[in-house]
Amino acid sequence: MVASLTQEAELMPGQRKKSTAKRRRTSAADARGHLGLGLAQLMEESDVLIAMTDPDGRVVSWNRALAELTGRPESEGVGHKLADWLTTFGVRDLADIMERAASEREAIRCEVRLPGAAGALAAAAFNVMPVRGPDGATVAVLAAGHDLTALRALQNQVLHAEKLATVGQIAAGVAHEINNPLTSIQMCVEAVLRKANLAMEGRVPNLIEPIDVERLRKIQDGAERIRKFSRDLTTYARPSGREVEEVSLNEVVEHALSFCEPVIYDAKAELVRELSPDLPKVQVVRDHIMQVVTNLVSNAAQALSEEGGSVTVRTFRSGGASVGLAVSDDGEGIRREDQARVFEPFFTTKPAGRGTGLGLTVVRNIVLAHAGRISFQSQLGSGTTFVVSLPLGASPTSPFKTEKQSR
């Protein structure tokens, strides 16, 4: 070290400057090399899902996290087209989006499905961006993301928990819903049995009269009502499917309202239906929209005073591109200071034990997942109206929503 300093001291001033500049260039080159090595190690060891392709869509790099998620090691993918592999599983969306990012030279955020190591498809969210060379041309495409499987499972658990909470809220009305037809069945059976016993004793003619047929019909209707209610209750409490269907909004609303009858009865409410005929069908997850109606109607009924009131359910055509649902009550209304928090998770003004505080949060999330909108108007002493708008053109079939990132 001393010798090195002595040698430098013996150099002419111009030579010393050149020597210093050379060392700096060497140091900068070393730093860039170390940075590249560090980034490569970070990419490999990170829990972030990272893939890189060339402009033609061939895999350049595929890190450990992505290999663990998909069960496909980097060695099997490098040099091969990403689209060819994904197409065999019917989920080539990531490859398509990376190709799009390369051609449009835009960063894109997206949700996609990928083949999972266990055989099932895995959901993942990615930021996809082109990598540009010195001349501005795209030299590679980088995708970095995270696994959404656990998050989606948690969201489904929250959705199911809110369903069960709603089932608990209507439990008080279940007895009424079942007792009415059971009472009718019991009375009719007793009448038919009494007549049968008298006929067997020879005290009345052994004939079937019209009134007997009517009693048997009431027995049949009562049993069918119990069967239908039990079926609907079981169906509603079951975890939701995610199958998208083209449905009539009015049919979904009517189905949900039949399930809400105990809540309406318990609240001493009058249910008013104003369903617009000839609404166009809409692409939705039926169970989810049914839950939207059930939650809104249950909330409306619970907002009424102890003396009761009315709950109005209205469907309508909203412009030319969407259909709408409005649920109104003439209850107490929502205080102005609480209105900003209505959709907050776990926020509730209900007494303890009468809700989870997730009902409207779940409703909002379902509506947004269908690319819809939800709003409300409320006035103290006059009641509240929630309005849901569902677009006709959008469909939640594809979870692969993409958007260009703003620069």
Residue by residue, DSSP assigns 82-111 as: HHHHHHTTT--HHHHHHHHHHHHT--EEEE
Q: Are strands 309-318 and 269-275 parallel, antiparallel or unpaired?
A: parallel
Tens of each residue's pLDDT in the chain, 407 residues: 444 444 444 545 555 555 555 555 555 455 455 555 656 666 767 788 888 899 888 988 888 888 888 888 877 878 888 888 888 777 788 888 888 888 888 888 888 888 887 777 888 889 999 988 888 888 999 998 888 877 777 766 766 666 666 655 555 455 555 666 777 777 777 777 777 777 777 776 766 677 776 777 777 777 776 766 665 555 555 545 567 889 999 999 998 888 788 788 888 899 999 999 989 999 998 888 988 998 899 889 988 888 889 999 999 998 778 999 999 999 989 888 888 888 877 667 665 545 556 678 888 888 988 889 999 999 988 899 999 999 987 656 433 344 444 43
Domains, in order of start, for the chain: 22-147 (3.30.450.20), 154-170+241-391 (3.30.565.10)
Query: Which residues sit opposite 147 in a β-bridge?
Result: 124
CB 256 within 8 A of CB 297: yes
Element (H, E) at 160: helix 149-169
pLDDT of residue 291: 85
- Distances in Å between the Cα of 224 and the Cα atoms of 181, 193, 234, 237, 352 are 9, 21, 15, 20, 36
Q: How far apart are the C-alpha atoms of 151 and 154, rounded to whole Å?
A: 5
Q: Are strands 383-391 and 322-329 parallel, antiparallel or unpaired?
A: antiparallel
CB 351 within 8 A of CB 339: no
Q: How far apart are the C-alpha atoms of 316 and 387, rounded to whole Å?
A: 10
Return the percentage of the chain with pLDDT > 90, whole number: 17
DSSP assignment, residue 317?
A: E
Q: What is the largest CA-CA distance in the chain?
A: 140
Per-residue pLDDT reduced to its tens digit, 303-316: 888 888 999 999 99
How far apart, in Å, do the first and last CA atoms of the chain sit? 50
Q: Which token pair is 66?
A: 């992505």
Q: For the stretch 323-354, what's the b/e string if a residue is b when 16 or more beta carbons lie within 10 angstroms of its beta carbon?
A: bbbbbbbbbbbbeeeeeeebeeeeebeeeeee
